[in-house]
Amino acid sequence: MAYSMARETLGLTQRGQIDTPQISFAAIEIDLVKWKGDMLAVGVTEKDMAKDENLKFKNSILLKLDKQLGGLLSEASSEEDFTGKVGQSTVLRLPGLGSKRIGLIGLGSTPSEIVSYRNLGETLGEAAKTSKSSKIAITLSSSEGLSAKSKIAIASAIATGVVLGTYEDNRFKSEPKKLSLKSVEILGLGTGSEIDKKLKCAEDVCSGIIFGKELVNAPANVLTPGILAGEAMRIAFDYSDVFTATILDVEQCKQLKMGSYLGVAAASANPPHFIHLCYKPPGGAVKTKLALVGKGLTFDSGGYNIKTGPACLIELMKFDMGGAAAVFGAAKSLGQIKPAGVEVHFIVAACENMISGTGMRPGDIVTASNGKTIEVNNTDAEGRLTLADALVYACNQDVGKIVDLATLTGACVVALGRSIAGVFTPSDDLAKEVLAASEVTGEKLWRMPMEESYWESMKSEVADMVNTGGREGGAITAALFLKQFVDEKVQWMHIDMAGPVWNDKNKSATGFGVATLVEWVLNNSS
């Protein structure tokens, strides 16, 4: 399959290549004192930092390192007021070890969640970047009592954190920084094929997360619907042994009667592209068919209900395709992992929501591809209109389960904040599956009610429904709207990720959703 992608010229801005950090990971066993490299880091709990009456560490690993350093580690940690709390870290350049530096990273009182170890890895990655280290190692001061399975999961989480902690999106800077880190060795958590396999899988997932981040970070003058379709085609080209791609243009969407989606796209000078990637395993029978559907608004002005005011975030509406980014990020990862026994459809109705004389107006009625009619009482509730036709299309792929992801409502952000995505589904079984996957990845999901009585606010006098109800329960009514376009025989879940798609502190995309989607697909593979 030939691959080519047009380049946008608006503003003459061209992005650099998506550059995943090239870091090698290895799990080894070695005497910490003898390990040689740029930095040896130790993840410590508050309990590990306890000292006896002689101000000596009670923890055996810290005591051994401190003895080798002539008591300087104990002395320096006291001077730095390092107690092992979450978020604390200190890097010291002390003579006496094979490593140039030693770092202590706090894990808190009892790190019970896997996300604690991912955060440990991110802190280590940031420290390695700051110190321009090329080779680093990480160990835990207390790993006794951990099962072999837990150790493997912790090693994977640390590796994920390191990659994401060192990553910077430099594509649009005139003088991008170069990453020094090349090698990470994980000490004391076991060795062998199982942990090596898990570390390789972590690298594959990270490449998808970074891909998702860079799709969201790209400005709308660079990432148009056509360019997003080109990125999907690139996935199919790079992993042509397991992927095929179908891109539908306006005329083809008209033939499928996607009036809801095309109504949103009508105002933009950049034409819509309906994107369908299909993953089929390289060998063996397919036992499960899944669909991942992502909202793909590469820019959302609000349409005639234009976004106004300081809280409207119109300057950040490039992230309104965060659902699509999660779906394609997962596709990239799965193209490398190649799970058996599962067929996965990745579906995105990509377009822009703009303003022009050809655009959709408040009060217009559009007809979705399942024949249902929608009175558009707010053009800024456009994502659900595109998802309506995408969900109908997904159901027609003969899948048993569908998960859609969308930066859909501000109401969900008000309810759950910036760190947690809302989950809506009529299926208890599907809820258990996806929530279990999120527990493994550390991405925060919270199941929300689908209160059927709220549908009353979505009824129209002139059509089958309106596209938005009142302010109260806005995330719930949005999910109830989407439900109208899903076959009752299909298990379906909607994830509203409007909060966690973006990190306000870092002013950057998070890559949210990729890891959980990959984990869920792997759990459905044979």
Q: Are strands 502-503 and 401-406 parallel, antiparallel or unpaired?
A: unpaired
* Rounded CA separation 107/44 (Å): 6
**Tokens 């909607």 identify what position?**
494
3-state secondary structure of 220: coil
Block residue for tokens 């709220």: 454
Between CA 109 and CA 88 the distance in angstroms is 12
Q: Where are the alpha helices (DSSP H) in 48-147?
A: 60-68, 72-79, 114-131
- Spatial separation of the C-alpha atoms in residues 142 and 118, rounded to whole Å: 17
Residue type at 269 in one-letter notation:
A
User: Residue 471: which of 404, 423, 406, 412 has the closest Cα?
Assistant: 412
Residues 474, 411 contacting (CB under 8 angstroms): yes
To the query of whether residue 100 is one of the catalytic residues in this protein, the response is no
DSSP string, 331-346: HHHHHHH--SSEEEEE
Biggest CA–CA distance in the chain, Å, is: 82
Q: Count of alpha carbons within 13 Å of 90, Cβ hemisphere only?
A: 17
Q: What is the CA radius of gyration of the chain?
A: 25
Cα distances from 181 to residues 6, 66, 90, in angstroms, run: 33, 26, 19
The two three-digit tokens of residue 437, written as one number: 């996957």
Of 56, 257, 307, 372, the catalytic one is 307
307 is catalytic: yes
- Nearest to residue 477, comparing CAs of 449, 455, 508? 455
Residue 13: closest CA among 276, 303, 222: 222
Active-site annotation, residues? 307, 384
